[in-house]
Structures are given as C-alpha cells and as structure tokens.
Amino acid sequence: MIEIELKLMGTLKSRFREGRLELPDEATIADALEQLEVPPKAVQTCTVNGKFVHDRSHRLTDGDELTLLPPVGGG
C-alpha cells in the first residue's frame, strides 16, 4: 500500500473528500479517481508534487501529493 496526500480545488472541494488516501502499490491517477468516485470529466487538470501530469496512467508513489482541478467555465 501507498499513502498520498490529496488536494482538491474549486468545486471539487465541496463534493469530495481531501486528505490522506491509501491506494494499492503501483496505483495510478485513474485508480485514485476511481477509488474516490470522482467522474473523470469532473477533473480538468492534475498535478503530482506540483508538476502538471496529463497522463492519468501516471503511477503514484508513497508520499506523493496529488492535486485535482475542475474544468474552469468562462463567460
């Protein structure tokens, strides 16, 4: 098992739980979204340890900080 720190931005903050998250070894960003029951379309951008990651099959490692940002509407 690995443990990551999950940070949520914008509307995701009020809809989902942030904080520490335990995942199986070799878990990916997609696995984290699935465990949290966050619909993939609800997340526009992800960062891991402050760096933008566009590939949701990116493997997470113990101690990573995953930040999820929702789509931004304009008008």
**Which carries the bigger pLDDT value, residue 15 or residue 22?**
22
Amino acid at 26: E
Task: Judge whether 40 lies within some domain.
Answer: yes
Q: Is residue 75 predicted with pLDDT exceeding 70?
A: no
What CATH number does residue 55 fall under?
A: 3.10.20.30
Which structural domain, as residue segments, surrounds residue 18? 2-69
In a domain, 32, yes or no: yes
DSSP string over 16-43: S--EEEEE-TT-BHHHHHHHHT--GGG-
Q: How many CB atoms lie within 10 A of CB 12?
A: 20
Residue 50 lies in a domain: yes
pTM over 0.95: no
- The answer to whether position 56 is within a domain reads yes
Count of domains in the chain? 1
